[in-house]
Structure 1
Amino acid sequence: MIHAVVFDLGDVLASPPSLLPELAKRIGTTRERLETHYWEGRVDYDAGVPDEQYWGPLLEAVGVESDPGLIADLAELDANCWSELRATARQLLREVRGAGVTVAVLSNSPRAMQVAADKAPWRSDVDHLFVSATIGLSKPDPALYRHVERKLGHEGREIAFVDDKQANVDAAVETGWQGHVWTSDADTRIWLVGLGVL
């Protein structure tokens, strides 16, 4: 029996169309130029390196002078954009929680996401929020899944996990969780119904 459902955040619950346009506008560059460099260094950023170690090289790459105020603004804007959930995704969170099942979000995200998500309207729909940079572990590290298990207080077989990356789902399944690769909210709902969650 499933007692907890753990959702990834980026692209599973949130797919903000405003992300790159808003960041490009704040930086003073084009979306196309920003997109070329946005994912460079992101793994380290999500693992907890300071904001300036991610945004500094990005700004240099697009030809914009870096300064602490701009970096702080970009870190906050980036996290705020990623913390905007789709309406159908938030409804799914509410339905799972309404069924008496623990709801958690497990995200590979920078420290700024912890602040943004804790202030987001949907935070009240989630029992636990796990941010990689805050914990010091990132998916698909098995140690992160075991950390989440301990915090949830459930065995792996009692946890269902939804992520858009196959490697992250595979690692969860190897840990003993039930895993599903996200393709749509509707597909995820069907999977949760099949597990008896909904």
Structure 2
Amino acid sequence: MTVDAVIFDIGNVLIEWQPERHYDATVGVERRKTMFETVDLHAMNDLVDQGYDFRATIEVAAAQHPEFKSEIMMWYYDWIRMAQPAIPHSVKLLRALRKKGVPVFALTNFGIESFEFAETQYPFLTEFDRRYVSGRMGCVKPHSIIYEMVEADCKIPPQNLLFTDDRQDNIDTAQARGWQTHLFDGPLGWAGRLVEEGLLTPREASA
């Protein structure tokens, strides 16, 4: 099937996103477990991804849970340490596709301010042909509307889009809309899929 554009998720596809790992290293596993059981930090982050103010949203959660105030504020102050490192092979695939003239888009759940900061740390985030950032769009994956907005903007038939994401629920919605998909479980598998589609040669897709 024809592929007219390749769409990358960012978190855990191009950049590792492991907040729990950072907390384990800074406050300890037990403290982290207790906090995550008490505070729905991922729901808090979902608000940021929807476009809510980055710092203010975290400050509200910190005020609601004073026993974890300093740890919750780390989500703001230490954010870039949670969003690291880059996944070099995935970045190489992005650049190889663009070098071949294949349009490459980003479709990511990401806050407005945090994405702007990430751009300063990861220059490849500026290299996409189009960037669909949830915070700017006011909606998040896996809700169908964000996929509809991508289709309306790029004007490419859904069946001609190839999308990779590390979350099954995000993949499921894309599939339901007719997109071609790849569940990302590492850059080697994604590289293989791009070769299978004839978008890259084995050499171009190598690490």
Q: 1:89: Cα distance to partner?
A: 1.4
Show structure 1 runs of 5+ residues with no match. none
For 1:163-174, what aligned pairs fall within 5 Å after superposition? 163-174=165-176
Taking the aligned partners of 2:84 and 2:150, their CA distance within structure 1 comes to 20
Q: Is the 8 A contact 1:3 1:102 kept in 2?
A: yes
**Normalising by the residue count of structure 1, what TM-score does the alignment of the two structures yield?**
0.80
Per mean C-alpha deviation after superposition, the further-off stretch among 76-85 and 108-117 is: 76-85
The superposition leaves residues 55-98 of structure 1 with CA deviations (integer Å, 9 ceiling, x where unpaired) of 431465363557xxx96x85364257537521111111111112
Tell me whether 1:196 sits opposite 2:194 in the alignment.
no
For 1:44-193, what aligned pairs fall within 5 Å after superposition? 44-51=47-54, 52-58=56-62, 61=65, 63=67, 74-75=75-76, 77-79=78-80, 81-82=82-83, 84-119=85-120, 120-193=122-195
Q: How many positions carry a matched residue from both structures?
A: 191
Q: Is the 8 A contact 1:90 1:122 kept in 2?
A: yes
Q: Is the 8 A contact 2:12 2:166 kept in 1?
A: yes
For 1:3-14, what aligned pairs fall within 5 Å after superposition? 3-14=4-15
Amino acid at match of 2:92: Q
The alignment yields a C-alpha RMSD, in angstroms, of 2.9
Per mean C-alpha deviation after superposition, the further-off stretch among 127-136 and 74-83 is: 74-83
Taking the aligned partners of 2:134 and 2:80, their CA distance within structure 1 comes to 13
Report the equivalent of 1:39: 42
Say if 1:62 and 1:101 are closer, same or farther in 2 by CA, change over 3 A.
farther
Amino acid at match of 1:188: W
The superposition leaves residues 97-139 of structure 1 with CA deviations (integer Å, 9 ceiling, x where unpaired) of 1221111111112222331244331134322222111110111
* Helix, strand or coil at the partner of 1:183: coil
Amino acid at match of 1:33: R
Taking the aligned partners of 2:14 and 2:165, their CA distance within structure 1 comes to 9
Say if 1:79 and 1:106 are closer, same or farther in 2 by CA, change over 3 A.
farther
Taking the aligned partners of 2:92 and 2:28, their CA distance within structure 1 comes to 34
Say if 1:196 and 1:172 are closer, same or farther in 2 by CA, change over 3 A.
same
Identity %: 25
